[in-house]
Amino acid sequence: MSTSLNVWSDALSEFSLFGLPVGLVIVAALPLVFIALYALTYGVYGERKISAFMQDRLGPMEVGKWGILQTLADILKLLQKEDIVNKSADKFLFVIGPGILFVGSFLAFAVLPFGPAFIGADLNVGLFYAIGIVALEVVGILAAGWGSNNKWALYGAIRSVAQIVSYEIPAAIAILCGVMMAGTLSMQQFTILQQGEYGFLHFFLFQNPIAWIPFLIYFIASLAETNRAPFDIPEAESELVAGYFTEYSGMKFAVIFLAEYASMFMVSAIISIVFLGGWNSPFPNIGPLLLNDWTTGPVWGAFWIIMKGFFFIFIQMWLRWTLPRLRVDQLMHVCWKVLTPFAFVAFVLTAIWEIYVK
Amino acid sequence: MTNTTYTVIFYLFAAVTVFSAAFVVFSRNIIYSAFSLLFTFFGVAALYVFLSADFIAVTQIMVYVGGILVLLLFGVMFTNKIMMTDLKTDVLNILPGIVLLLSITGGLIYTFVARAEWFTSTVQLQGSVVEKIGFETMSRYVLPFEMVSILLLLALIGAAFLARFDKPGKTNDK
């Protein structure tokens, strides 16, 4: 495995200006800059374009070629907007809510491996940390909903939190099936275990036929955890205006939006790492065609994980325009009576497979 | 990182923990108290990290922030007229309070300074702690582990039983 990026990033992290560790800050900020760029420009643009094509429309077309600069214009608009705090809001919670939400959705990025040499912190409890830290987001949502002092916002916040807390259970058990296959909680180790010359055949999803159950369960539960359709009752427009961010405008709204796109990418990256090999190339080596070797390396690694993330984000957007929204009771029914028992069955089956078959 | 950096970060987290805990007690607004608890839990988790107990730290966040704090906030938010209730945070019973405070502080300082034997571990922590925790719970401590899980299952079933309401003469299903 090439370590050229490692040397390069080491050199960058030792760079300092006037005794301040500037290089370290730059290295730490790179994934965040990537997410901010992706989320606020091409995430939003992609969502609008995809939804437009699915409804046989053109979507944004005015600003720039094919409307590519539309989001930049929107950002300028959001930056210029007046920061409105409504009179009867709880000022402190209203301001701190989006902040906690934003921090909470970015904390998990510390343990995401973006390549063989690029990982913020290779914790040996990485995966556990990534699914545990979501709890902070929940508190941010509650602060925003309560601070707005608006019944729609409070309903939205309570619904959202109830949904996230409930769906954490099938999601965590599904992830546990992956953990049993790998025998580790470190995200980097997870990816390395799925490396090999046969490309996608080494991914856990193709190593074990049972892995499809936890894979699908985690994908469904991750939709609910990020409040995406069909589980978007927290922001159901026809009932609740906009859910917990009804009262927010300008940059605070943008921050909430950014947090949502960040957590969408986060769950997509987690599912790619656990079941689809993270930064490993999916191409196999076929005879003299060394497709796997040609597409492996530090930069390719970042490319693959981002592509896999984008693939799942595309499916999330696709589902949004395909499936109708679930009712509250249907939502809880799916979680407790369908996903959780299936997750338990998958857990037991994976254990049996790991002990007796493999 | 140098030793001073560690010390500075440690005191930062200690200060966050202590001040937010004080805010929980002294705040007149129960919602603020509940939200302040978030910082207390995070500070404690950070202190666990300093003790190289990273698994416990993440569990702390998962259980206390994700479970108990959310439950508390839900409890507060679903309680009617919680904002109208006048919370009493006055200082009452000054003399017994001072006596109790001084005796507890004195006792703690005495135990820490005079009696406690601070010993450093001879074996340095190496590798992953998670695996060791897993092996120990599944071998040496398997009985307590199973007992706790049965207890929690009982609590879960009990809660579900108490929460469901049956209309007389009508089954709950459909």
Q: Do B35 and A125 touch (CB under 8 A)?
A: no
Q: B93 vs B116, which has greater pLDDT?
A: B93
Structure tokens given for A33: 């800059």
Distances (CA, A) of A249 to A150, A151, A158, A187, A236: 14, 17, 21, 37, 18
pLDDT of residue B148: 93
Gap between the Cα atoms of B46 and A182, Å rounded? 28
- Segment A155-177 shows an average pLDDT of 87
- The yes-or-no verdict on residue B150 having pLDDT over 90 is yes
- Segment A208-225 shows an average pLDDT of 88
Nearest-5° Cα angle at A132, A27 to A44: 60
pLDDT band at B128 (very low <50, low <70, confident <90, very high): low
Gap between the Cα atoms of A334 and A99, Å rounded? 31
Quick check: A133 contacting B, CB < 8 Å? yes
* Burial classification of residue A158, based on how many CB atoms lie within 10 Å of its CB (0-12 exposed, 13-18 middle, 19 or more buried): buried
Quick check: B61 contacting A, CB < 8 Å? yes
Gap between the Cα atoms of B135 and A283, Å rounded? 37
pLDDT of residue A138: 86
pLDDT of residue B146: 92
- The yes-or-no verdict on residue A322 having pLDDT over 90 is no
Distances (CA, A) of B20 to A99, A253, B59: 18, 28, 20
- The yes-or-no verdict on residue A239 having pLDDT over 80 is no
Q: A234 vs B73, which has greater pLDDT?
A: B73
Closest chain A CA to residue B72: A139
Helix ranges, A183-297 (H): 187-193, 204-207, 212-225, 237-240, 250-275, 291-294
Q: b or e along A112-138 (b: 16 or more beta carbons within 10 Å of the residue's beta carbon)?
A: bbbbbbbbbeebbbbbbbbbbbbbbbb
Mean per-residue pLDDT of chain B: 81
The pair phi, psi for residue A20, each rounded to 5°, is: -95, 140
Task: Output the CA torsion sign for A89, A92, A93, A94.
Answer: positive
Shortest Cα–Cα distance, B31 to chain A (Å): 9
Structure tokens given for B53: 């107990």
- The yes-or-no verdict on residue A95 having pLDDT over 60 is yes
pLDDT band at A1 (very low <50, low <70, confident <90, very high): very low
Give the max Cα distance, chain A.
Answer: 70
Closest chain B CA to residue A24: B1
pLDDT of residue B174: 45
pLDDT of residue A261: 83
pLDDT of residue B8: 82
ipTM: 0.74
Query: Do A205 and A212 contact (CB within 8 A), yes or no?
Result: yes
- Segment A6-23 shows an average pLDDT of 61
What is the value of pTM for the model shown?
Answer: 0.82
Name the residue with tokens 């196999």: A284
Domain ranges, ordered by start, for chain A: 83-357
- Segment A233-250 shows an average pLDDT of 75
Q: What is the three-state SS of B102-160?
A: HHHHHHHHHHHHHHCCCCCCCCCCCCCHHHHHHHHHHCCCHHHHHHHHHHHHHHHHHHH
Helix ranges, chain A (H): 4-14, 22-37, 44-54, 70-80, 91-107, 126-132, 134-147, 151-182, 187-193, 204-207, 212-225, 237-240, 250-275, 291-294, 298-320, 328-333, 340-352
pLDDT of residue A228: 79
pLDDT band at A105 (very low <50, low <70, confident <90, very high): confident
Total residues found in chain A within this entry? 358
Closest chain B CA to residue A93: B32
pLDDT band at B149 (very low <50, low <70, confident <90, very high): very high
pLDDT of residue A2: 40
Q: What is the pLDDT of residues B57-109, one digit of tens each?
A: 888 888 888 888 888 888 887 776 666 666 666 677 888 889 999 999 999 88
Nearest-5° Cα angle at A223, A220 to A224: 95
Any bridge partners for residue A289, and if so which? A286
Q: A115 vs B159, which has greater pLDDT?
A: B159
| Peptide bond just before A230 cis, omega within 30 deg | yes
Residues with Cβ < 8 Å from A70, sequence gap 6 or more? A45, A48, A60, A62, A63, A64
Taking CB atoms and an 8 Å cutoff, what residues of chain A touch B31?
90, 93, 146
Distances (CA, A) of A235 to A100, A143, A144, A152: 19, 16, 13, 9
pLDDT of residue A103: 86
CA end-to-end span of chain A:
27
Shortest Cα–Cα distance, A250 to chain B (Å): 25
pLDDT of residue A13: 61
Q: Please count the CA atoms within 13 angstroms of the CA of B171 that sit on its side-chain side.
A: 2
pLDDT of residue B102: 93
Q: Do A135 and B59 touch (CB under 8 A)?
A: no
Gap between the Cα atoms of B53 and B40, Å rounded? 17
Of A230-234, B49-53, B56-60, where does the model show the most confidence?
B56-60
Structure tokens given for A18: 């006037």
pLDDT of residue B144: 92
Closest by CA to A127, choosing from A111, A148, A143, A115, is A111
Mean per-residue pLDDT of chain A: 80
- Segment A230-256 shows an average pLDDT of 77
Indicate left, alpha or beta for A21 from its phi (over 0: left) and psi (-120 to 50: alpha). Answer: beta
- Segment A225-229 shows an average pLDDT of 80
Query: Do A43 and A268 contact (CB within 8 A), yes or no?
Result: no
pLDDT of residue A39: 63
- The yes-or-no verdict on residue B121 having pLDDT over 70 is no
pLDDT of residue B161: 85
Least confident among A23-32, A192-201, A322-331 = A23-32
Q: Do A125 and B58 touch (CB under 8 A)?
A: yes
Q: What is the pLDDT of residues B16-43, one digit of tens each?
A: 999 999 888 887 777 888 888 888 998 9
- The yes-or-no verdict on residue A277 having pLDDT over 60 is yes
Q: A20 vs A115, which has greater pLDDT?
A: A115
Gap between the Cα atoms of A43 and A268, Å rounded? 13
Q: What is the pLDDT of residues A281-317, one digit of tens each?
A: 777 777 777 777 777 776 777 778 888 888 888 888 8
Q: Do A128 and B62 touch (CB under 8 A)?
A: yes
Of B32, B54, B66, the CB nearest to A138: B66
Least confident among A22-26, A71-75, B36-40 = A22-26
CB atoms within 10 A of CB A234: 24
Gap between the Cα atoms of B136 and B131, Å rounded? 9
Q: b or e along B123-151 (b: 16 or more beta carbons within 10 Å of the residue's beta carbon)?
A: eeeeebbbeeeeeeeeeeeeeeeeeeeee
Total residues found in chain B within this entry? 174
Q: b or e along B75-104 (b: 16 or more beta carbons within 10 Å of the residue's beta carbon)?
A: ebbeeeeeeeeeeeeeeeeeeeeeeeeeee
Shortest Cα–Cα distance, B19 to chain A (Å): 17
Gap between the Cα atoms of A297 and A21, Å rounded? 28
pLDDT of residue B106: 92
Least confident among A95-109, A176-190, A294-308 = A294-308
Query: Do A233 and A163 contact (CB within 8 A), yes or no?
Result: yes
Residues with Cβ < 8 Å from A137, sequence gap 6 or more? A100, A101, A104, A105, A164, A259, A263
